[in-house]
Structures are given as structure tokens and as C-alpha cells.
Amino acid sequence: MENEKEFLRSHNIKPSIQRIMVLRFLRMNPLHPTAEEVYQGLINEIPTLSRTTIYNTLNFFAEKGLVKVLNLGHNETRYDLNTDEHVHFKCIKCGRIYDLYLSCNLPQKGDVVDGHIITEREVLLKGICRICKGKKGGDDEVQV
């Protein structure tokens, strides 16, 4: 718990028990959980925990640059503790999201493209993950 406290303090965040536990959950679950998954993962440890506390904590972490918010469409919002620039891969079978480190020849932050200033880059690739691909019928049903 001390490690999480120091990490939060180093980002100018007061380390409450809820913040410490959310951070620990994110560290232990690197496959980009939803707020509901964070809540379900912590409710047994903190019975007084509310969903509002989870949402507020995750949004506060995002404001402080501690987590990246991934809006994946269809009202799917996930949280990524890895704020380094990387690409996301979402499996269309199991829904897992993986971090991929690829070099993309896309404009960088600050570049101007067609008169537009780039402030963020997000790349989402979709397909079948190696786990699902290895299962029987893993790629039989996919139309490419």
C-alpha cells in the first residue's frame, strides 16, 4: 500500500483508501477495465464503496494524467493506467483490450494537418486475439 501512496503523492494526489485501492486494482488488471469492473473488483474489500466514488476517482485520475480514458464507442469507456503512447487492439470475440507498441506513420501531437492542430492520437485496431484464435473455431466465423 505504501507504494501506491507514494505514487499518488508524486502526482500531487492525496492518497485516500479509495484512491489507493482503485490504483492497485488498475495495476493488477491491466486489460483496461470499465468503471463497473473496478467497482465489482473492490466492493468486497470496501463494502461502503459507491459507484459514484469509482467514477469520481477515475475521472480525477484522468484529470491528473494518471490514467487514459478510452472511449471505444457504444457507450464503452475503459481506463488505462499506461499513459505512454501506444495502440490498442480490441478482440471482437472476447472483448479484451491489449496494448500494442507499433510505429505508426501518423501525425504527431502538435502537427498541423490540413489546417487542423493534432492534440491527441488514438489508434484502435480490432480483430481476434491470440487467445481466441487458439480456441476451436477461433477464426472460422470472421469475415475479413
21 neighbors 46 (Cβ within 8 angstroms): yes
Shared domain check, 71 and 39? yes
Q: What does the pLDDT average to over 122-138?
A: 85
Q: Is pLDDT at 101 greater than 80 in this prediction?
A: yes
Shared domain check, 63 and 8? yes
Q: What does the pLDDT average to over 101-117?
A: 85
Shared domain check, 63 and 18? yes
Looking at every residue in the chain, the average pLDDT score rounds to 89
pLDDT, residue 1, reads 61
Q: Which range among 40-44, 115-119, 130-134, 135-139 shows the weakest confidence by mean pLDDT?
A: 135-139
Q: What does the pLDDT average to over 87-115?
A: 87
83 neighbors 68 (Cβ within 8 angstroms): yes
Q: Three-state DSSP class for 15?
A: coil
Domain-terminating residue out of 77, 95, 116: 77
Q: What is the value of pTM for the model shown?
A: 0.80
Cα torsion angle, 40, 24, 68, 127, sign: negative
Cell 470472421, located at residue:
142
Question: Could you tell me if residue 56 is inside a domain?
Answer: yes
Q: Is pLDDT at 144 greater than 50 in this prediction?
A: no
Q: Which range among 10-14, 43-47, 114-118, 136-140 shows the weakest confidence by mean pLDDT?
A: 136-140
Question: Could you tell me if residue 140 is inside a domain?
Answer: no
Shared domain check, 70 and 10? yes
Question: Could you tell me if residue 139 is inside a domain?
Answer: no
Shared domain check, 67 and 22? yes
Structural domain range at position 105: 84-134
The identity of residue 35, as a single letter, is A
CATH number at residue 95: 3.30.1490.190
Shared domain check, 68 and 7? yes
As for how many domains the chain has, the answer is 2
Supply the DSSP symbol for 30: -
Shared domain check, 107 and 73? no
CATH number at residue 71: 1.10.10.10
What is the per-residue pLDDT across 5-43, written as a single tens digit (0 to 9) for each?
999 999 999 999 999 999 999 999 988 999 999 999 999
Q: Is pLDDT at 131 greater than 70 in this prediction?
A: yes
Measured between alpha carbons, how far is 15 from 73 in angstroms, rounded to an integer?
32
